[in-house]
Chains A and B, each alone.
Chain A
Amino acid sequence: DAGITQSPRHKVTETGTPVTLRCHQTENHRYMYWYRQDPGHGLRLIHYSYGVKDTDKGEVSDGYSVSRSKTEDFLLTLESATSSQTSVYFCAISDRAGSGNTIYFGEGSWLTVV
């Protein structure tokens, strides 16, 4: 299994509070991703990073921000959590773009916003 650790694995938070999810990798991979998974929607890309301090928006980035100050850590922040952000969040990593760009997933973080 790819060395990906997500924390926290489960969290319940109140509407309007900020929340930060952490993804830590031990593979020294360049590319990191945050996806959310919702019933009937599959997985949708929130943000991704192609290097330290290099990030870009994905399909569903509104209400989320990210930071990557070190190769191994990719943080996802919900600036003011809403009930629509109740979801399962997956971090993923990849060693390179182009041919052979296989993405490996973490175990997920279950977030409930009440």
Chain B
Amino acid sequence: AQSVTQPDIHITVSEGASLELRCNYSYGATPYLFWYVQSPGQGLQLLLKYFSGDTLVQGIKGFEAEFKRSQSSFNLRKPSVHWSDAAEYFCAVGGGGADGLTFGKGTHLIIQP
């Protein structure tokens, strides 16, 4: 069965500092990988996705993620965070089938001034 692990429940970063959120997945075939962001009281917004090709993918809001097959990881990065980046971040994996995605439990990002 597929699964996603986000090891960090909470992360605190100073504004202007770099950010890396970790995501490890388990999937028996070629995975499709996603990062979503959720602000309080809102739905989930797609940040970026990986299907194939270049393992470094660029997303919205200055985020990027790198797919590393050997490590079963898809970590999210941003060189310099802004206070508006404070939110919940979810990593997800799917096989492209009709049964949707499997999500990690999320990482809550706190930005310190």
Contacts and interface: CB of A to CB of B under 8 A. Distances in A.
Interface residues of B, number: 25
Q: Size band of the A side of the interface?
A: 20 to 34
Contacts, number: 65
Contacts of A43: 44, 90, 103
Contacts of A74: none
Contacts of B99: 45, 48, 56, 58
Contact of B43 (A90, A97, A100): A90
Contacts of A100: 51, 96
A23 B61 CA distance: 28
Nearest to B36: A105
Interface of A: 31, 33, 35, 40-45, 48, 50, 56, 58, 90, 92, 94, 97-108
Interface of B: 32, 34, 36, 41-46, 49, 51-52, 90, 94, 96-106
